[in-house]
Amino acid sequence: MGFVGIHWRGIAEYIGGGPIDRWTEGVDMYERDGEKYFVVDGHVHFWDASPANWLPGQEQYAKGWIECFHAYMALGPEETHWPLEKFQKYSEEDFVKDVFQDGHVDAGIFQPTYLKEWYREGFNTLETNAKLVEKHPDRLIANGRWDPREGEAGLKQLEEDAKRHNLQGVKLYTAEWRDGSRGWSLKDPEAQVFLERCQELGIKNIHVHKGPTIWPLDKDAFDVADVDYCATNNPELNFIVEHVGLPRIEDFCFIATQEPNVYAGLAVVIGGLMHARPRFFSKVMGELLFWVGEDKMLFASDYAIWEPKWQVEGFVDWDYPDEEYSDYPAVTTATKKKILGLNAAELYGIEVPQELRLPAEAGTPAAREDAQLAGDAT
């Protein structure tokens, strides 16, 4: 482990924020085999799913949701599993230790999940996250959210949030139920109004949850086609597809191949597969490297579903297991540096210390033309 105590002053200066926290002095940059990695965790949570926060009458859903998450945790190494009680509500100290101290994360991005129909104060909201950001302004970024079904009131709230929290990004859930509506689409004209407002407000990173979901009943909640549509229409915005569209990785890849502003958010890919299904993990990474390319893939732990420590360490050590994978793009140290932090740092304007950057032109992007040719077989 290397010792890098100084660079955080530079970053705090660059992105604003308060005084250096006591624990950022002496932060340990992750170092392995003489290489140092700048880690941006693109998807962290600080939630409260304890029974005290369950909305009366909705307990079964609040309970089911967190238990479903808890089952996913078991896909990680056994020594990283938590008891359900801690998983329902963990402390600020746990967060700081797991993410920053042990987890090698240099900067974390909060993706909020409101779920106010089930949880009194919400599951993990911008407001809660912002309190943590206030304490650790040089290491955390809070993203907002919107829902086009909220109309004018929603736009007003978005504006307030953007100004108060200096938002750079939002997290969207198209599959969320609301007042009898069973989800929405980024193709809806109302969504375009919000996307345009995002541009005006300087919110340029649109994270869209396209992954495992329990609602709704019938609509194809996994459909990623709407991302294609709005990415074309809003070239100034970046669309980060969280969970790479699982279980529809192929649909996502075809879109990402064609749209330069569509990115892969690796939450669940690393946490859910790298330990539990290592050979499948290598295949998925190989496919993503081929179709999407190492410049458009973003590391994310999905903490607290999984701790970042084993994911960062495992990913730095990862390579294809054998020659069965020889057809996939090569994985280099530069590939890993980009995915672990440099790509996200660029999207969020996070200053990366000089010694942790890559020389220009390092690595190879996806074979875009090849991929484009092949994208229409279904």
How remote is the C-alpha of 349 from its chain's centroid? 16
Nearer to other proteins, 2 or 278 (CB): 278
Q: And the tokens for 332?
A: 């280099």
How remote is the C-alpha of 288 from its chain's centroid? 16
Q: Are 201 and 159 in contact (CB under 8 A)?
A: yes
Nearer to other proteins, 40 or 371 (CB): 371
Which residues are near other proteins by CB under 8 A? 60-61, 64-65, 67-68, 71-72, 74-75, 77, 182, 213-214, 216-221, 246-250, 253, 272-273, 275-280, 283-284, 287, 291, 370, 373-378
44: enclosing H helix or E strand: strand 40-44
Q: What is d(CA 237, CA 145) in angstroms, rounded to the nearest whole number?
A: 15
Nearer to other proteins, 60 or 233 (CB): 60
Nearer to other proteins, 200 or 376 (CB): 376
Nearer to other proteins, 152 or 218 (CB): 218
Tell me the closest approach of the beta carbon of residue 375 to other proteins, in angstroms: 7
Q: Are 24 and 50 in contact (CB under 8 A)?
A: no
- Locus of tokens 């932060």: 27
Tell me the closest approach of the beta carbon of residue 160 to other proteins, in angstroms: 33
Nearer to other proteins, 75 or 84 (CB): 75
Tell me the closest approach of the beta carbon of residue 363 to other proteins, in angstroms: 21
Tell me the closest approach of the beta carbon of residue 296 to other proteins, in angstroms: 16
* Distance in Å from the first CA to the final CA of the chain: 48
CA neighbor of 235 nearest in space, from 270, 201, 261: 261
Tell me the closest approach of the beta carbon of residue 53 to other proteins, in angstroms: 19
Tell me the closest approach of the beta carbon of residue 220 to other proteins, in angstroms: 6
Tell me the closest approach of the beta carbon of residue 222 to other proteins, in angstroms: 9
| Local structure of residue 307 (DSSP, 8 states) | -
Tell me the closest approach of the beta carbon of residue 297 to other proteins, in angstroms: 15
Nearer to other proteins, 75 or 193 (CB): 75
Q: 292-307: buried (b, 16+ CB within 10 Å) or exposed (e) per residue?
A: bbbbbbbbbbbbbbbb
Nearer to other proteins, 213 or 364 (CB): 213
Torsion, Cα of 360, 143, 315, 307 (10° steps): 150
Torsion, Cα of 324, 328, 331, 335 (10° steps): -160
Nearer to other proteins, 86 or 156 (CB): 86
CA neighbor of 135 nearest in space, from 1, 253, 17: 17
**Counting beta carbons within 10 angstroms of the beta carbon of residue 124, is it exposed (0 to 12), middle (13 to 18) or buried (19 or more)?**
buried
| Local structure of residue 324 (DSSP, 8 states) | G
Nearer to other proteins, 179 or 218 (CB): 218
Tell me the closest approach of the beta carbon of residue 215 to other proteins, in angstroms: 9
CA neighbor of 324 nearest in space, from 278, 367, 256, 355: 278
H runs (alpha helix) in the chain: 7-15, 59-73, 84-88, 92-95, 126-135, 151-165, 189-201, 225-233, 249-258, 269-273, 278-291, 308-317, 333-337, 343-348, 368-374
Tell me the closest approach of the beta carbon of residue 270 to other proteins, in angstroms: 13
